[in-house]
Chain A
Amino acid sequence: QKEVEQNSGPLSVPEGAIASLNCTYSDRGSQSFFWYRQYSGKSPELIMSIYSNGDKEDGRFTAQLNKASQYVSLLIRDSQPSDSATYLCAVSGLNTGANSKLTFGKGITLSVRP
């Protein structure tokens, strides 16, 4: 049974701070890693994908992957109140076929205080 674990929340940070969201996964064969943002009552929105060890930056977001430790994280710099949402970590195997199915963590709710 593939598992994806996220820190239990909620996480609260002041505006302008760095928010750090963490995720661990059980399947060592996982190849693809995703972060989704979900506002209350809305559907998830893909904000970051990462496939190789190291960091990947996109604007204020940085995804970090460490396959040896089976750990993926999302850093949000200069946090804004509009970043307040639930963040879902998702993991999958190969890029296609049955192994492309995503396994989701339960999500962590981030609250950015003005």
Chain B
Amino acid sequence: DGGITQSPKYLFRKEGQNVTLSCEQNLNHDAMYWYRQDPGQGLRLIYYSQIVNDFQKGDIAEGYSVSREKKESFPLTVTSAQKNPTAFYLCASSIDSGLAGSNEQFFGPGTRLTVL
């Protein structure tokens, strides 16, 4: 089965803790993305990566960190510096080959993070 998996589905964090959200894809996609969604809001880009060992900040990168050591994996760490981390976190991937349609992004099931 090809797809994008995210774990855990639900995550609870105490204030001051760092937590890491997992994102794995077996679609052989080059590009991967992390978004945050708050109630009644659209998706906001946190970080993205177009190739292994390289990533760029999105619109709201402060308080987050990522790594891209393998093509299949793009974990997101929510640090204690993120002031309002409670949100729905979505990972996506795309082929990103430059051909028409290759920038279509497909999403994983998401991780719902709650800070207690």
Please tell me if the beta carbons of B48 and A88 are within 8 angstroms of each other in the complex.
no
Asked if A88 and B103 sit within 8 Å, CB to CB, the answer is: no
A104 CB to closest chain B CB (Å) equals 4
Q: Is the CB of B100 within 8 A of A96?
A: no
Question: Contact flags (1/0) for A77-114 with B, using CB distance below 8 Å?
Answer: 00000000000101010111110111011110000000
Within 8 A of A (CB), among B11-29: none
Interfacial residues of chain A within 48-79, with CB under 8 A of chain B in the complex: 49, 51
- Known A-B contacts A43-B109, A88-B42; the reply to A95 vs B99 at CB < 8 A is yes
Which range contains the number of B residues in contact with the other chain? 20 to 34
Is there an interface contact between A44 and B104, defined as CB atoms closer than 8 Å? no
Which residues does chain A contribute within 8 Å of B42, judged by CB atoms?
A: 4, 88, 104-107
- B82 CB within 8 Å of chain A: no
Count A-B pairs with CB separation below 8 Å: 68
Complex interface: chain A residues within 8 A of B50 (CB): 96-97
Contact yes or no, A100 B103, CB < 8 A: yes
Q: Is B2 engaged at the interface, CB distance under 8 Å to the other chain?
A: no
Separation of A86 and B30 alpha carbons in the complex (Å): 28
Tell whether, in the assembled complex, residue B104 and residue A96 are in contact, meaning their CB atoms are under 8 Å apart.
Answer: no
Q: Which residues of A contact B102 (CB under 8 A)?
A: 95-96
Do residues A44 and B43 form an inter-chain contact, with CB atoms below 8 A?
A: yes
A25 contacts partner chain B, Cβ-Cβ < 8 Å: no
The proximity string for A residues 31-51 relative to B, scoring 1 for CB distances below 8 Å and 0 otherwise, is: 010100000001111100101
A101-B48, A105-B42 given as contacts; is B109 within 8 A of A42 (CB)? Answer: yes
B41, B98, B103: which contacts A106 (Cβ < 8 A)? B41
Q: Please determine whether B107 and A44 come into contact, CB atoms closer than 8 angstroms.
A: yes
Known: A46-B105, A94-B103, A95-B97. 20 other contacts (CB 8 A): A42-B110, A43-B90, A43-B109, A43-B110, A44-B90, A46-B104, A46-B106, A49-B104, A51-B101, A90-B43, A95-B96, A95-B102, A97-B98, A100-B31, A100-B94, A100-B96, A101-B45, A101-B58, A102-B43, A106-B42
